[in-house]
Amino acid sequence: MVVHAKPAALDQISLVRSAEPGGGAASSSLFPGVPAVDLSGPGAAAAVVDACERFGFFKVAHHGVPARVVDRLESEAAAFFAKPQAEKDASGPANPLGYGSKRIGRNGDTGWLEYLLLAVDHHQAAAAVSKASPVPSSSLRSVVLCWIRPPVRSTQPLFYLLKILACGVCREAVSEYVGAVRGVAARVLEAVAEGLGVAPRDALSGMVSGAASDGVFRVNHYPPCPLLQRLPDSCSVTGFGEHTDPQLVSVLRSNGTPGLQLALRDGRWVPVPPDRDAFFVIVGDSLEVLTNGRLKSVRHRVVANSLKPRVSMIYFAGPAPEQRIAPLPELLGHGEQGAYREFTWGDYKKAAYRSRLGDNRLDPFRRRV
Ligand SMILES: O=C(O)CCC(=O)C(=O)O
Ligand SMILES: [Fe+2]
């Protein structure tokens, strides 16, 4: 008989039951695969709404973001994560911004990963992107210094930022990439508004594009986890525990290593085949509320890979802290009360920081009938 003990190096990290490929026979008809939408093609708005209603998830094909913008940042990220641990630690701990390793958030969540979490100032990002080529490097440096702003009352991420800025092309790679995926998020939200018949067309996209909007950018690195081979096939090691993203939408891009999984509406987990050339869009809690639950945020997680590293880059499109998040009146019937109580993004974000990753953060805001 083979006895599998959990290796000591995984002590802090929880194991999860492996997803069945395709979610198992019973749900393969429920999940024919990740829908792909061409945002500039005919019927894009209806296709986006359909995918968001069914899965809260889809991938954008033919997005128009040049491969060189993505590849450049991916190799910058790989170079950062390849640095000696002490050098990376000098840029942390993530509080909540900066470099983090194994710990996610402040409330005991752990995973087989390390990451960088940065806040984005849209106004300055736009300036950095539009000026990226003609501006001499020294002035770009000051633009980007403002653009990636440190959290109030913490000097550590600033220290990290100075380091990242000192590492040459990195600052431009980040600004180019974030400018591009911010555009993808806005196009997706315009398609959602159009598909749901919400006017004006920028009713949703405008929330995440203004100068005060709260964009966050995260790069995750999941090192190979050879210890997985000592566990039974039915077990996986948590890379990033299950959760929903709190913002309106997240735009995710990963290298070719699998690991991302999503929960279908019936609770089954299905693996998402990686696609280096696509952006995956994840519906977040705030979009669920704004659409009065017609689009639902999707639970997702990442499991470790035994042999290959996974690198993912995610842009979280959030609104300004004062933005009121409540069901849009156009989506309510005459005299109908929304299914959620109103909150501001700032309050929701604070509540999210206080919660565990897997908590259902929307529950306290659901109106009971
Ligand atoms: O790394 C991934 O593929 C997903 C990570 C994720 O869900 C997140 O950072 O919110
Ligand atoms: Fe996520």
- What is the distance between the alpha carbons of residues 160 and 229, in angstroms, rounded to a whole number? 35
- What is the distance between the alpha carbons of residues 30 and 332, in angstroms, rounded to a whole number? 28
Does residue 65 carry a pLDDT above 60? yes
pTM, whole model, 2 decimals?
A: 0.88
**Highest mean pLDDT range out of 40-44, 150-154, 310-314?**
310-314
Q: Residue 300 C-alpha to ligand 2 middle, in angstroms?
A: 6
What is the bridge-based pairing of β-strands 98-104 and 324-325? unpaired
Query: Residue with the nearest Cα to atom 1 of ligand 1?
Result: 312
- What is the distance between the alpha carbons of residues 222 and 193, in angstroms, rounded to a whole number? 35
pLDDT tens digits, 167-224: 434 678 888 899 999 999 999 999 999 999 999 999 999 999 988 999 999 999 999 9
Q: Which ligand is nearest to the CA of 302?
A: 1
Query: pLDDT > 70: what percent of the chain?
Result: 82
Please check whether residue 311 is in contact with residue 74, taking contact to mean a CB–CB distance below 8 angstroms. Answer: yes
What pLDDT, on the 0 to 100 scale, is given for residue 143?
A: 30
Q: State the virtual CA torsion across 353, 356, 357, 358 in degrees, nearest 10.
A: -140
Q: Which domains does the chain have, with CATH numbers?
A: 15-359 (2.60.120.330)
pLDDT tens digits, 332-343: 999 999 999 999
Q: Chain centroid to CA 221: how far? A: 13
For residue 258, give the amino acid letter: P
> Which residues lie closer than 8 Å to 137 by C-beta, 6 or more apart?
none
Pocket lining for ligand 1, CB < 6 angstroms: 218, 220, 240, 245, 252, 254, 260, 300, 302, 312, 314
Stronger pLDDT, 76 or 295, i.e. the higher one: 295
